[in-house]
Amino acid sequence: MSKTNLAIQKDLLRQPSTITLVGNPNTGKSTIFNALTGLRQKIANYPGITVERKMGSTIINGVLHKVIDLPGAYSLNHKKADERITYETLIGSYDYEEKPDLLLLVLDASNLERNLFLASQVMDLQIPILMVLTMSDIADERGIIIKPEQLSSAWRVPVISVNARSKNCDTQIKEALIEKGVAVPKPFQWNPTTPLRKAVERLDKEWLSKHTQLPKRARPIEALRLIAEGGLEDSFYQYSEGGKAKKLIESLQNFLEAAGENPTAAEVVQRYRFISDISEGSVSKEHSNELT
Amino acid sequence: MSLSDAVVQQKYEVKQIQGEELVRIMEMGLTPGSICRVIRRAPMGYPMEIKIRGYLLSLRKKEADMIEVIPV
Ligand SMILES: Nc1nc2c(ncn2[C@@H]2O[C@H](COP(=O)(O)OP(=O)(O)O)[C@@H](O)[C@H]2O)c(=O)[nH]1
Ligand SMILES: [Mg+2]
């Protein structure tokens, strides 16, 4: 996996774009949002719920861009109101929020493995990404050594490491957007097993693509969620032909079980397996006594 | 054994998770095969704080009960 595999885009920011911040809670998204937008920001609530909606603007190379600070989330599978907003905004189906043209995927460098779980899901959505590692100062203090280049070649997106509270954080991010650019990662970089891949493809082809309005790039994530949880009824879409879907999902779950996989656990286990594997190459620790 | 019966400082390997919110628990990093360590427990036992995948996670009794572990 060499750098040449990165599908880098650098001309995106020549036109006004929507730059969206996404990541786990408490990773520094709002700190970066404030640094980028300064006084150019507007805070309101999303309609009907008390979740803050933060939008602002920033100038990069003379072009004015929108910046959106999404509610923090641990997973795209969740059904809490604020996590739904994040998910629906990312897939471009939330009426009250701008579709992202590119993402600042924010990760806490001192807690990388857990942060990579959501990140790996977001990277399946085929949106141009710059990965921003925050808390680099805390990682340093704890003796956690991150190798951004390794992370970048493992996930095929450009990566920068910042202290979001430092004065020049906005400049660092803007420069990275210009010089490193953004890249669209290939979906399923986390190497799902063949049976899981097949189950996702079948649910997409035989049902999601026919009976839902979901954009193509969001269907694999939705398929994974349905296979794990079967939760058609608590899904936030109005599914037609739910009965047919239910049967199909059950048969796919049986298919996975016959292949020796636990349908409920498969996605999470396989994502974390890949994350641990790549973390061995990209994260190390000075004080080994602190591990686990 | 259940993680509810785990003792402070001991390391455990997660064997399996059972119950309603098992996906949410696994998403926190507690997947089968992962290793955690109990860091501290409140006087009545809960919340209990464990270290998993390099970070501290606080669990309620309801959650700890769902997690089957073996000492390592
Ligand atoms: N030391 C340090 N603290 C940070 C950094 N980024 C954010 N913080 C702090 O972490 C906390 C959470 O940051 P915030 O931007 O609100 O996170 P959000 O929930 O992702 O929006 C705040 O107290 C920030 O000041 C960083 O790079 N280094
Ligand atoms: Mg915030």
Dihedral sign from CA coordinates of A37, A38, A42, A44: positive
Give the 3-state secondary structure of residue A127: coil
CATH number at residue A143: 3.40.50.300
Is residue A145 domain-resident? Answer: yes
Is residue A50 domain-resident? Answer: yes
Judge if the beta carbon of residue A26 lies within 6 A of ligand 1: yes
Judge if the beta carbon of residue A29 lies within 6 A of ligand 1: yes
Q: Considering only CB atoms, which chain A residues are within 8 Å of B54?
A: 111-114, 144, 291-292
Spelled out in words, what is the top-level CATH class assigned to the domain B3-71?
mainly beta
Residue A113 in tokens? 């493995």
Q: How far is Cα A90 from Cα A102, in angstroms, rounded to an integer? A: 10
A115 CB contacts (<8 Å, ≥6 apart)?
Answer: A23, A24, A27, A107, A108
Is residue A290 domain-resident? Answer: no
Question: Which ipTM was obtained for this model?
Answer: 0.93
Residue A17 in tokens? 């774009």
Is residue A288 domain-resident? Answer: no
Instruction: Provide the domain count of chain A.
Output: 2
Long-range contacts at A177-180 (CB < 8 A, ≥ 24 apart): A177/A13, A177/A60, A177/A130, A178/A10, A178/A13, A178/A60, A178/A61, A180/A8, A180/A130
Give the per-residue pLDDT at A233.
Answer: 64
Is there a single domain that holds both residue A171 and residue A210? no
Cα–chain center distance at A150: 19
Is there a single domain that holds both residue A156 and residue A24? yes
Contact A130, A19 (CB under 8 A): no
Give the per-residue pLDDT at A120.
Answer: 97
Contact A164, A138 (CB under 8 A): no
Domain that holds residue A222: 194-275
Give the per-residue pLDDT at A231.
Answer: 67
Is there a single domain that holds both residue A173 and residue A198? no
User: Could you say which of A148, A179, A210 is where a domain stops?
Assistant: A179
Q: Is the peptide bond before B47 cis (omega within 30 degrees of 0)?
A: yes
Q: Considering only CB atoms, which chain B residues are within 8 Å of A113?
A: 29, 53-55
Is there a single domain that holds both residue A45 and residue A131? yes
Q: How far is Cα A219 from Cα A208, in angstroms, rounded to an integer? A: 7
Q: How far is Cα A227 from Cα A252, in angstroms, rounded to an integer? A: 7
Is residue A186 domain-resident? Answer: no
Is there a single domain that holds both residue A265 and residue A159? no
Is there a single domain that holds both residue A227 and residue A128? no
Q: How far is Cα A108 from Cα A98, in angstroms, rounded to an integer? A: 25
Contact A68, A98 (CB under 8 A): yes
Is there a single domain that holds both residue A92 and residue A142? yes
pLDDT digits (tens, 9 = 90+) for B12-42: 999 999 988 889 999 999 999 999 999 999 9
Q: What is the pLDDT along chain A (292 residues), one digit of tens a residue?
A: 444 578 888 889 999 999 999 999 999 999 999 999 998 899 988 888 888 889 999 999 999 999 999 999 999 986 678 888 898 899 887 777 788 999 999 999 999 999 999 999 999 999 999 999 999 999 999 999 999 999 999 999 999 999 999 999 999 999 999 999 999 999 999 999 999 999 999 999 999 998 888 889 999 999 999 999 876 665 555 666 677 888 999 999 999 999 999 999 999 999 999 999 988 878 887 754 444 4
Q: How far is Cα A168 from Cα A236, in angstroms, rounded to an integer? A: 40
CATH number at residue A232: 1.10.287
Please give the backbone phi and psi of residue B29, each rounded to the nearest 5 degrees, phi first. 110, -5
Q: Ligand 2 center to residue A71 CA distance, Å? A: 7
Give the per-residue pLDDT at A292.
Answer: 42
Residue B34, chain A, CB below 8 Å: the answer is yes
Residue burial A34-43, b: 16+ Cβ < 10 Å; e: rest = bbbbeeebee
CA-nearest residue for atom 8, ligand 1, is: A28
**Numbered residues of chain A with Cβ closer than 8 Å to any chain B Cβ:** 74-75, 77-78, 111-114, 117, 144, 228-229, 264-265, 268-269, 272-273, 276, 291-292
Is there a single domain that holds both residue A64 and residue A159? yes
CB atoms within 10 A of CB A184: 19
Is there a single domain that holds both residue A72 and residue A133? yes
Q: Judge: A292–B22 Cβ closer than 8 Å, yes or no.
A: no
Give the per-residue pLDDT at A289.
Answer: 46
Q: Considering only CB atoms, which chain B residues are within 8 Å of A74?
A: 27-28
Is residue A26 domain-resident? Answer: yes
Q: Judge: B37–A292 Cβ closer than 8 Å, yes or no.
A: yes
pTM of the shown model: 0.93
Is there a single domain that holds both residue A73 and residue A146? yes
Q: Which residue has the higher pLDDT, B11 or A78?
A: B11
